[in-house]
Amino acid sequence: MKLKFDLHCHSRFSADGVAEPEDMVRVAKERGLNGFAITDHNTCECVEYFLRHGMMREDGMPVDDFLIIPGQEVTTAQGHLLGLGVVLPDLRMSPATEVAKLIRRKGGIAIPPHPYDLFRAGIRESDLDAMEFDALEVFNAATTMKRYNRQAFEYAKEKGYPMTSSSDAHHAEALGTAYTILEVKEFSVRGVLEAIKNGGELRQEYLTLKDSFKKTFNNVFRIKRGKKRKS
């Protein structure tokens, strides 16, 4: 069966996110998604929230015909790295190669997001060459410049990596702007992870100017909030 998943989404538990978990589920369902991956920066607090409030199951099966995939976007020493299907501690500034190995040892899959976009901590090509990972995010709806997505697509095509397309939503309304259609044999976290490794169809649409402005505002708010905490 073909299912639609946004594989890169942030909640208010990310330092630069503002999406309420309940709103993320509501918007995703309204847009016809079958699920999404929660990939907050350097934390899995929202995974715990979803579990506590009955929106996720420990066994990786869907709730009310909707599946949330646990994950995290790790700020490694070389750039950002998505770990899907796993719950991770705060690993920021650890080597990307070691984080990828840990993700895979725990039964998850490692996906470098927005590579080439150095404005947003994308992992450089030389570092990608030195890593073992499972798929590459070749379309990010929030990328700084469209050519970064094209470069990621060409790299994945040349190297034979499965490809994903994601919104990188930091507020609920942006969720599902871009997503991946997967041929899934079992509607479960394990089934979706296997489907990602087999490759999927890419649904590619960029954030609107309004949504891009919101994301930029969130980042400015994060910086100001950080300065207040230090003072």
Tens digits of residue pLDDT in 129-142: 999 999 999 999 99
Q: For CA atoms 214, 217, 219, 225, give the dihedral sign.
A: negative
Residue with tokens 């901590």: 121
Q: How confident is the model at residue 3 (pLDDT cuts 50, 70, 90)?
A: very high
In whole angstroms, give the CA distance from residue 154 to residue 188. Answer: 30
Amino acid letter, residue 122:
G
Domain boundaries, the chain: 2-230
Instruction: Supply the CATH classification number for the domain 2-230.
Output: 3.20.20.140
pLDDT given at position 167: 98
Angle at 76 between CA 60 and CA 17, to 5 degrees: 65
The residue with greater pLDDT, 193 or 229, is: 193
Are 38 and 51 a contacting pair, CB within 8 Å?
Answer: no
Query: What pLDDT, in 10s, does the model give residues 20-49?
Result: 999 999 999 999 999 999 999 999 999 999
> Which residues, other chains included, contact 182 with Cβ-Cβ below 8 Å and sequence gap of 6+?
2, 3, 4, 5, 192, 195, 196, 198, 200, 201
Are 76 and 91 a contacting pair, CB within 8 Å?
Answer: yes
Task: Answer whether residue 59 shows pLDDT above 90.
Answer: yes
Task: Answer whether residue 86 shows pLDDT above 50.
Answer: yes
pLDDT given at position 228: 37
Lowest mean pLDDT among 89-98, 99-108, 165-174, 206-215: 206-215
The encoded tokens of residue 45 equal: 């607090």
Q: How confident is the model at residue 223 (pLDDT cuts 50, 70, 90)?
A: very low
In whole angstroms, give the CA distance from residue 35 to residue 27. Answer: 11
State the average pLDDT for the chain: 93
Q: What is the pTM of this model?
A: 0.92
- The Cβ of residue 198 has, within 10 Å, a number of other Cβ atoms equal to 12
pLDDT given at position 208: 79
Amino acid letter, residue 212:
S
Beta bridge partners, 67, equal: 35
Q: What is the mean pLDDT of residues 62-81?
A: 98
Query: What pLDDT, in 10s, does the model give residues 154-204?
Result: 999 999 999 999 999 999 999 999 999 999 999 999 999 999 999 999 999
